[in-house]
Amino acid sequence: MTLIPSILSVPPSPGVTARCAEARAIVLSNMPVNGEYRLLTLDAPAEVLDCAPGQFFQLLCPVPEGEHPFLRRPMSIYGYDAHAEQLQFLYKIAGAGTRGLATLRAGDTLNVLGPLGQGFTMPDAWQNLMLVARGVGLATLAPLARMAQQQGRSLTAICSARSPELAMSVDLFRSYGAEVIVVHDEDGSSEVPALEALIEARIAAGSVDAFYTCGSRRLLTMLQRLGQKHGIPGEIAMEQQMACGLGMCQACVRPFREGNEVVHRRVCREGPVFPISEAIA
C-alpha cells in the first residue's frame, strides 16, 4: 500500500474535525454477498484508519467502459480495523461509480479520501440501544454495533428488507451480541404499523434508551414520532448527494430543526450523523 502524501484541511466549523488523508489502498477482495450487494475489502494504511462509526470516504471509482463518472463516490464505512490495516465498504451497484467499483479485482488499487464527517456518539445514559434500518443503510450502522459491544451496551437490531434473504448484516450484528429481528415486505412485518407495534412493546418493557437509524425517510418519521411520544433520543446518518465531501462546495446542504427555527447544515461536514429530533424527512 502506498500513502499519497496529502493531508487536506478545510476551514473548520465549531466541533468539526478538519483533517483527512488521501491514500492508495490495495484491493484484497470484492465479492458479492447476495443478489444485490457486494463487499469490498481493502488493505489500507494507518493514516486513513482512525475512523469512527458513521463516517464515510470519498472513493475515486474506476471508470467503467463507455461511462464517465466525474466525481468521487461517497461511501459509508462498513468495517475498519487499524491493527489488520483493513477497510471495508458494502455497496449496491446503482450507477456508473458503483459499476466501476464492481470491476475491481484483488491486487488492484483504489484511491480513497477520508475518513470524513462526524460519526455516531454513545452517551453513558444510552445503555439499551435500538438500531432500525433497511437495505444498505444497515452497512452504515455495522461499526456502531461493534462500538456498542466494546462499551458493554445492550443492542437490538431491527433489519428490514424486501425479503428475508436480502436482509443485510444479520450474522455480523449477532456476532457483536445484538438481538437481531428481521422484518420484510413479503409478510408485511416491515410495514410501519407492524414495526411501530414491535418497538412500542420493547419500549413498554423498558429496553430502549436510544434509537439509531440511517437514510430511510419512512423510518425517520416513525422514530421521530416514537421518540417524541416517549422521550427517547437518538441519531440518524443522513444520506445526501455530495460533490467534494469536504464542506467547500455546499452541494449537500439541507434543512434541520434547531429549536423553533430551521437552519441549514452541510451533511458532509456537520454530519452525516445528526440528532433524530433535528432531521427533516
Q: What is the DSSP string of 55-115?
A: -EEEEE----TT----S-EEEE-SEEETTTTEEEEEEE--SHHHHHHTT--TT-EEEEEEE
- Domain end call among 116, 136, 158: 116
Whether 74 has a binding-site annotation, put simply, is: yes
Q: Which residue has the higher pLDDT, 138 or 69?
A: 138
Pairing mode, if any, of strands 210-214 and 234-237?
parallel
Same domain? For 29 and 49 the reply is yes
CATH number assigned to the domain comprising residue 33: 2.40.30.10
- Give the C-alpha separation, 148 to 146, whole Å: 5
Q: Are residues 143 and 219 in the same domain?
A: yes
Tell me if 225 is assigned to some domain: yes
CA distance 211 to 152: 16
Residue 195 within a domain: yes
| Residue 107, burial from CB neighbour count under 10 angstroms (0-12, 13-18, 19+) | exposed
Query: Cis omega (within 30 of 0) on the bond before 272?
Result: yes
Domain range for 50: 2-116
Q: Is 20 annotated as a binding residue?
A: no
73 is in an annotated binding site: yes
Q: How many CB atoms lie within 10 A of CB 131?
A: 26
Phi-psi region of 248 (alpha: psi -120 to 50; beta: other; left: phi over 0): alpha
Amino acid at 206: G
Of 221 and 169, which is predicted with more confidence? Answer: 221
Same domain, 148 and 176: yes
Mean pLDDT across the chain, nearest whole number? 90
- β-pair type (210-214, 128-134): parallel
- The model's pLDDT over 19-68, given as tens digits with 9 standing for 90+, comes to 689 999 999 999 998 878 899 999 999 999 999 999 999 999 998 887 87
- 252 annotated ligand binder: yes
Q: Which amino acid is at 12?
A: P
Query: 98 a known binding residue?
Result: yes
- Which CATH number covers residue 216? 3.40.50.80
Q: Is the pLDDT of residue 169 over 90?
A: no
Count of domains forming the chain: 2
Is 159 annotated as ligand-binding?
no
